[in-house]
Amino acid sequence: MAAISVQVNFMQCPFCKSNQVKVLETRVQKEHEIRRRRECIECKGRFTTVETLLLRYPDILKRDGTREMFDVEKLRRGLQLACLKRQVSLPQIEEIVGRISNALISRSEKDVRSFEIGQMVMKELKKVDDVAYVRFASVYRTFKDVQEFVETLEKELEN
């Protein structure tokens, strides 16, 4: 299954409904958006179209067996909370979100376990800020008691 779905329609002039349309100019507006200036060969009418790429993220399989759609905003909020009052800039958080999102899009599987995403986030946070890493790990992992938490952190910080 392809991670990126592309739907191509033949362009039709909005004025005379002719299929004879040429592209005059193409500009990339945003990361996944292309703006094209077009002209109808029949009636010489000009119009602009905006094309967006539809990205397909895999579904997330939760620990309890439920399935939910991947939510980039949820990932961003989790990172922002972990990095709250730390020396981690918003552009750094956006880079992490971008790397994880791109990694998920490029996967061929249509499902990914929430555990794998958590591991990706922890790996990224460990590179950026130890405290943010510990904050995320404390929420992400479920510990029986404080001792298990301390032992796990000691192991992780040794690596």
Residue 9: pLDDT over 60: no
Q: What pLDDT is stored for residue 5 in this prediction?
A: 41
91-102 pLDDT tens trace:
999 999 999 999
CA dist., res. 93 & res. 87, Å (int): 11
What are the start-end ranges of the E strands in the chain? 4-5, 21-30, 33-40, 46-52, 54-55, 59-61, 67-69, 111-113
Give the model's confidence band at 38: pLDDT under 50 very low, under 70 low, under 90 confident, else very high.
very high
Q: What pLDDT is stored for residue 140 in this prediction?
A: 77
CA dist., res. 4 & res. 72, Å (int): 16
Q: What pLDDT is stored for residue 3 in this prediction?
A: 41
CA-based R_g, the chain, Å: 23
This prediction's pTM: 0.65
67-83 pLDDT tens trace:
999 999 999 999 999 99
Burial class of residue 147 (count of CB atoms within 10 Å of its CB; 0-12, 13-18, 19+): exposed
CA dist., res. 73 & res. 93, Å (int): 12
Give the model's confidence band at 159: pLDDT under 50 very low, under 70 low, under 90 confident, else very high.
low
Tell me how crowded residue 124 is: count the other CB atoms within 10 A of its CB. Answer: 20
100-112 pLDDT tens trace:
999 998 888 889 9
CA dist., res. 47 & res. 4, Å (int): 27
